[in-house]
Amino acid sequence: FGGTSVASAERYRHVAALLLQRGEATQVAVVSAMKGVTDALIALANLAARGDVQWRQAWQVLRERHHLAATELLGAQAAGLLAWLDGRFDQLAGLLEALAVIGGLPEEVLERVQGLGEVFSAQLLGGYFNQLGHACAVLDAREVLVVAHGELGVSVDWARSAANLASWRADNPQARVVVTGFVARDGQGRITTLGRNGSDYSGAIFAALFQAAELHIWTDVDGVLSADPRVVPEAVTLDTLSYDEACELAYFGAK
């Protein structure tokens, strides 16, 4: 589920309802950050690195947005999740204060900061499922997924990732799992990301790691269009698309 699918407490409830309608023995949901949160986190880091004190106000706005979502989702049972969020936002504030002191933004720090939205998002959805009485484990992909960055993009260390997942599943056997999209670690254990809009890739990776029968990617359109509707208003939804055609479209940069 992408960012617009989890943009608010109402949207989280809708996602949960969609998932509960299905009857899989095991169901794994990969989620993005709430809409706009990744951009907001990157902006925060850049403000702090420039020594602009406005980062404090922007940090507070982002914190309150997640507080509101947690409160609307869990109601009187939100205290535990709110305390968890406060702890993570306090850590973020400490990191931003350090950036203000050093006056720069190392790439490794940016990778750590920009992936926090997915971590928050997964806890919100997982907490909601548990509050509904549906046992749910939340998997922070940084505990499992090992990747490498190369000239052709991000590649997965399948052997290490599968071993990590098997170990994690031994302690978390719940049939329902919510996973953070976008984030991972590199071979040296450093936090990294799959690149912007990488949550769909995360979905495919975890479908493979969990040996899923099916992968569903939820988005804001009903299918693949014949053209970009912002440029070609009369674009239509294609009835069918072969795998080869999809590969050609992707090769030439189609979204």
Q: Phi/psi class of residue 192: alpha, beta or left (left: φ > 0; alpha: ψ in -120 to 50)?
A: beta
Of 29, 39, 40, which Cα lies nearest the Cα of 5?
A: 29
pLDDT digits (tens, 9 = 90+) for 144-166: 999 999 988 899 999 999 999 99
Q: What pLDDT is stored for residue 186 in this prediction?
A: 96
CA 85 to CA 87: how far, in whole Å? 5
Return the HEC string of the chain.
Answer: CCHHHHCCHHHHHHHHHHHHCCCCCCEEEEECCCCCHHHHHHHHHHHHHCCCCCHHHHHHHHHHHHHHHHHHHHHHHCHHHHHHHHHHHHHHHHHHHHHHHHCCCCHHHHHHHHCHHHHHHHHHHHHHHHHHCCCEEEECHHHCCEEEEECCEEEECHHHHHHHHHHHHHHCCCCEEEEECCEEEECCCCEEECCCCCHHHHHHHHHHHCCCCCCCCCCCCCCCECCCCCCCCCCCECCCCCHHHHHHHHHCCCC
pLDDT digits (tens, 9 = 90+) for 99-133: 999 999 999 999 999 999 999 999 999 999 999 99
Q: What percent of the chain has pLDDT over 70?
A: 99
Q: What percent of the chain has pLDDT over 90?
A: 87
What does residue 176 show for φ and ψ, rounded to 5 degrees?
-105, 130
CB-based contacts of 218, cutoff 8 Å, min separation 6: 1, 2, 5, 15, 18
Average pLDDT, the chain: 95
Q: What pLDDT is stored for residue 253 in this prediction?
A: 84
Q: What pLDDT is stored for residue 122 in this prediction?
A: 98
Structure-token pair, residue 84: 């968890």
For strands 27-31 and 176-180, give the pairing: parallel
Q: What pLDDT is stored for residue 199 in this prediction?
A: 82
pLDDT grade for 140, boundaries at 50, 70 and 90 = very high
Q: What pLDDT is stored for residue 28 in this prediction?
A: 98
Model pTM above 0.85: yes
pLDDT digits (tens, 9 = 90+) for 216-254: 998 777 788 888 889 999 999 999 999 999 999 889 988
CA 139 to CA 124: how far, in whole Å? 12
pLDDT grade for 19, boundaries at 50, 70 and 90 = very high
